[in-house]
Amino acid sequence: MKKVMWMISMISLVGTAVFLQWMPERVPMHYDADGNIDRWGSKNEMLIFPLIILLLSLFWTLMIRYFEKKAKNAVDEKETAGALSNVKVLSVVGISMAVMYTVLQGYLLYGAYQTAGSGTTKSAINIEKISFILMGILLMVVGNVMPKTRTNGALGVRISWSMYNDHTWTKTNRFGGYMLMIAGILMVVEAIVISNSHVVTMVSMALIVLACAITVVYAHRVYLDEKEAEKKD
C-alpha cells in the first residue's frame, strides 16, 4: 500500500516536470477570491505542490510504520489486530489524499496553461469548486474507513470522551464516520450546484464544523451513558 501511495505521488511530480516543457515561462500562480490573477511567477514554481505531496506521503509512511512496529511488538492478539487495523486505515487515507492532490495538481496545471495562453486576467477554471468537490470525496472515503480504527492517539475522533474505553471509541468513531460521509456528499452537491465560489467556501466550512460539533456532542452523550451503565453495574 505504501508503494502505491508513493507511485501516485511521483506521478504528480514527474507529470508536472514533463508538462512544464510546454508551459510558457510565466504563469499565474495565485488568484483572489473572485478568480482574478493577483500574482504571476515562473513555471518552475508549479513543482512546489508536487513536492508537498511527497512530504505528505512521507508523513503517512512514517505513521504507517509506527503502527506496523506496534503490531510487531504487541503483547496480545487484540493489540496486534488494533494496530494492523489502523495500518489499513492510514494506508487508505494516505492513498486517497495522494490521489486527490494529484488530480488537483492536474487541474492547476491545466488552468495555468489555459489562462496564460489566453492572456486573460481571470482563471480559466474554478479551482475553489474543484477543490471542494475533491475534498468532499475525500471526506466520504475517510468517513467510510474511520469506524475501522481502534483506540489510538493518532487518528480518529481523539477526545477524552471517545477514548474513555473501547465502547465509547467504537460508537463515537462510527457516528463520526457517518457525519463525515454526509458532510462529504453535501459538499460535493453544493459545490456542483452553487455557482458562487464564496458561498461554496462558506457552506463547505460550515458543513465540516457542523459534522465535528455534532460528533463531539454525541461523544459526550455516549460517555455519560457509559458512566451511568458502570454505576448500575
Q: Look at residues 106, 125, 144 and tell me which one is the last residue of a structural domain.
A: 125
Look at residues 97, 127, 93, 89 and name the one whose alpha carbon lies nearest to residue 111. Answer: 127
Domain match, 205 and 109 both: no
Instruction: Give the CA radius of gyration of the chain.
Output: 21
Q: Look at residues 125, 151, 177 and tell me which one is the last residue of a structural domain.
A: 125
Domain match, 221 and 168 both: yes
Q: 181 lies in which domain range?
A: 126-233
Domain match, 136 and 160 both: yes
The reported pLDDT for the residue numbered 156 is 84
- Give the model confidence (pLDDT) of 141-199 as tens digits: 999 998 888 887 777 888 999 989 989 999 999 999 999 999 999 999 999 999 888 88
CA distance 155 to 136: 19
Domain match, 130 and 60 both: no
The reported pLDDT for the residue numbered 6 is 94
Domain match, 147 and 216 both: yes
Domain match, 24 and 77 both: yes
Domain match, 119 and 7 both: yes
Across the chain, mean pLDDT equals 88
The reported pLDDT for the residue numbered 233 is 64
The reported pLDDT for the residue numbered 230 is 82
Q: Look at residues 105, 125, 145 and tell me which one is the last residue of a structural domain.
A: 125
Look at residues 129, 128, 101, 124 and name the one whose alpha carbon lies nearest to residue 111. Answer: 124
Number of domains in the chain: 2
The reported pLDDT for the residue numbered 150 is 84
Q: Which residues of the chain have pLDDT under 70?
A: 33, 124, 233
Domain match, 110 and 177 both: no
3-state secondary structure 157-207: CCCCCCCCCHHHHHHHHHHHHHHHHHHHHHHHHHHHHCCCHHHHHHHHHHH
Domain match, 101 and 136 both: no
Domain match, 85 and 143 both: no
Domain match, 12 and 29 both: yes
Domain match, 87 and 152 both: no
State the pTM of this model. Answer: 0.84
Amino acid at 84: L
